[in-house]
């Protein structure tokens, strides 16, 4: 399509709207599966310096020995319209990856915390993170075969979540289910937007 091909020359064009959605959760909880179920999943790597202190210490010998780590992120895009694209970013929920979260959460519309009821504590840091930054989020419980079924209310109590915060069951392998997760998030963002501003 001709979009942008000649317009880049300076003619005003309709701005591309990129909606950023975050997907948080512990290792092995199904983030990659969920992104792949609903979007065109694409490779994305970050190579980041983890410790600045070691670089300072070692710089005295003239050879810098920096600790870098390559982190593969789950990155998916869903083109809803030519000028409206959803970007899904899934990264590990552990605190040591928060240098990425800080960047990703800038301008993010909302977040999905993907949880496994067998390891519910893995999602505490992510919930805490989004609450502190006032990023609207929902909790999606990926139902694994063989996991004991807890009720949504059990989980709400265990995670100490607001009664209005949506918690849904999902099957991260299913496209329909993954779509429902995103729809639930957007509906939640809309309902938050309707609330009068407190204070």
Partner 1 sequence: MPSNEEPWLDNAAGPVVRPYALTRGRTRHSGEAFDLVATVIATRALVADPGVLAPEHISVLQFAQTPTTVVDIASDVDLPLGVVRILLADLRELGLVSIQAPVSTRAQLVDKNTLREVLHGLRGL
C-alpha dist (Å) from residue 174 to 1, 46, 50, 140: 31, 28, 35, 13
When the beta carbons of 38 and 159 are compared against partner 1, the nearer one is 38
Which of the residues 165 through 184 are near partner 1 (CB under 8 A)? 175, 179, 182-183
Of 22, 23, 24, 38, which lies in the binding site for partner 1, with binding defined by CB under 8 A?
Answer: 38
Of the candidates 104, 100, 159, the one whose C-alpha atom is nearest the C-alpha of residue 127 is: 159
Q: Residue 74 forms beta bridges with which residues?
A: 43, 90
Which of the residues 53 through 92 are near partner 1 (CB under 8 A)? 68, 70, 75, 77-78, 80-81, 84, 86-87, 89
User: Is 24 a residue that touches partner 1 (CB under 8 A)?
Assistant: no
Alpha carbon distance 36, 133 (integer Å): 27
Total residues contacting partner 1 by CB under 8 A comes to: 52
Of the candidates 186, 162, 192, 181, the one whose C-alpha atom is nearest the C-alpha of residue 113 is: 181
Alpha carbon distance 28, 32 (integer Å): 9
Of 57, 121, 157, 192, which lies in the binding site for partner 1, with binding defined by CB under 8 A?
Answer: 192
Binding-site ranges for partner 1 (CB under 8 A):
3-5, 8-9, 13, 15-20, 38, 42-49, 68, 70, 75, 77-78, 80-81, 84, 86-87, 89, 103-104, 106-110, 134-136, 175, 179, 182-183, 186-187, 189-190, 192-193
């Amino acid at each position: 399509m001709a979009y942008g091909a000649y317009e880049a020359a300076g003619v005003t064009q309709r701005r591309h709207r990129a909606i950023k959605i975050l997907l948080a959760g512990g290792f092995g909880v199904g983030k990659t599966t969920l992104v792949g179920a609903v979007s065109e999943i694409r490779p994305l790597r970050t190579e980041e310096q983890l410790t600045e202190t070691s670089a300072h210490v070692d710089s005295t010998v003239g050879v810098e020995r920096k600790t870098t780590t390559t982190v593969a992120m789950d990155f998916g895009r869903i083109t809803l319209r030519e000028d409206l694209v959803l970007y899904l970013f899934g990264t590990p929920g552990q605190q040591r990856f928060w240098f990425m979260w800080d960047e990703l959460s800038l301008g993010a519309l909302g977040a999905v915390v993907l949880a496994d009821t067998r390891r519910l504590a893995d999602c505490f840091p992510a919930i805490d993170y989004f609450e502190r930054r006032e990023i609207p989020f929902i909790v999606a419980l990926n139902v694994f075969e063989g996991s004991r079924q807890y009720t949504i209310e059990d989980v709400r109590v265990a995670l100490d979540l607001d009664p209005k915060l949506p918690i849904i069951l999902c099957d991260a392998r299913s496209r329909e289910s993954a779509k429902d997760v995103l729809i639930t998030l957007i509906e939640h963002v809309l309902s938050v937007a309707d609330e009068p501003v407190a204070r």
